Structure 1
Amino acid sequence: MTEPTPELHAAFSEPTAEAVPWSDVERILASAEIFWLSTVRPDGRPHVTPLPAVWDGGALHICTGDQEQKAANLRRNPHCALSTGTDKLHDGTDVVVEGRAERITGHARLVELAALWKARHDWDYRVLDDTFDDGAGHIALVFAVRPAKVLAFGKKPHSQTRYRFNNS
């Protein structure tokens, strides 16, 4: 993945603010334990839910039960947003990733991702043909969300930095 160029949005930033470096954003994406996934229900209402994700290869990877609302929403409309950050007003950086969820079904890639989930979240997944199995009979679909746009909100000083990607 080519490193995107940060664009500081001065209208939403304090005068002393600087763009958040992409390396800081990637560090946050790689270390965050929980993200908030926003999808759209068939009737247009939002659906937001917390879940762990894995940043790897320039994408956030998520999984969800095949019968869950978020899976149904992503099958119908793959456009979504994932956000992570802190609950502090004057500390840390919040990050929003907008993109399109694409199902991951390749067995070799699923094996790699299962190992990452184990290493980063201590979750054990068994890889079936094109899904994860949690060992208790729950099947999980795996998706990759490649960023179309990322927003980073610095909080000391307050700033808004935008990164655009060419894969939307």
Structure 2
Amino acid sequence: MPPTPAAEPATRLDPRFSDPRAAAAPWSDAVALLEAAEVFWLTTVRPDARPHVTPLIAVWHDGALHFCTGPAERKARNLRDNRSVVLTTGGNTLGEGSDLVVEGEAERVTDTGTLRALAAAYAGKYGPAWTFGVGDGVFVGDGGEALVFRVAPRTAFGFTKGDAFGQTRWRFPR
């Protein structure tokens, strides 16, 4: 499994897209939003290079976002050829809140102990409707088997909305 990213990545407020009163958001604020967010949008790349975007649920665990998908779904098929992904979350209003964009590489999670911890995280966050068993390197649920992926941030962007709007970039060491 890839190492957990540093707790405090290099942080920079982009003045081109920020109010003069804005300050760079700390990574801990972004993590709190990632932990609380219920819906994420996953962008993958199709074999013909067209983007594919789909909503899904995800959990923040051990320094990374985790999501699951059926092995025959478009996103799983896309990830076989290109592991580069973007996960986004936030609100659809301009005047308040924050939006987050996390860029990284999707890595399969197959370790039984990690899968058990992630299954508990899903049930804890989303309730009993999202209870998974753990099979041979996969989640097992009512819909069959699901592949589990880990996305450690490579770069993340935070967009603070409201009067002192700002764009923060977090860069993680490779």
TM-superposed deviation, 1:147: 0.4
What is the CA-CA distance between 1:135 and the residue it aligns to? 2.8
SS at match of 1:109: helix
For 1:49 and 1:117, the matched residues in 2 are separated by 19
Match of 1:8 in 2: 13
In structure 1, give the amino acid aligned to 2:168: T
Give the secondary structure class of the aligned counterpart of 1:153: strand
Alignment of 1:133 with 2:135, yes or no, is: no
Spell out structure 1 runs of 4+ moving beyond 3 A. Answer: none
In the alignment, the residues of structure 2 paired with residue 7 and residue 154 of structure 1 have an alpha-carbon distance, to the nearest angstrom, of 13
- 1:122-148 Cα deviation digits (max 9, x unpaired): 211110010011134x21000000000
Write the distance in 2 (CA, Å) between the matches of 1:76 and 1:107: 25
Question: Cα offset for 1:93?
Answer: 0.5
Contact 2:11 2:168 in 1 (8 A): yes
Determine whether 1:158 maps to 2:171.
no
Aligned to 1:66: 71
CA distance in 2, matches of 1:113, 1:2: 20
Tell me what 2:82 maps to. Answer: 77
1:22 is the counterpart of 2:16: no
Determine if contact 1:78/1:101 at 8 Å carries over to the other structure: yes
Counterpart of 1:106 in structure 2 is 111
Q: Specify the code of the residue in structure 1 equivalent to 2:85.
A: C
In structure 2, give the amino acid aligned to 1:155.
Answer: K
Q: Percent identity?
A: 49
SS of residue matched to 2:33: helix
Please, what TM-score do these two structures have when normalized by structure 2? 0.93
Counterpart residue identity of residue 141, structure 1: L
Q: CA deviation at 1:82?
A: 0.1
CA distance in 2, matches of 1:166, 1:152: 18
Aligned partners of 1:126 and 1:135 also within 8 Å:
no
Contact preservation (8 Å) 1:125, 1:133: yes
Q: Unaligned 5+ residue runs, structure 2?
A: 1-5
Judge conservation of contact 2:9–2:173 (CA < 8 Å) in 1.
no
1:5, distance to aligned residue in structure 2 (A)? 3.0
Match of 2:40 in 1: 35
Task: Tell me, yes or no, if structure 1 residue 143 matches structure 2 residue 170.
Answer: no
What is the CA distance between 1:2 and its match in structure 2?
2.8
Which consecutive residues of structure 1, in runs of 5 or more, have no partner in the other structure? Answer: none
Structure-2 separation of matches of 1:15 and 1:135: 51
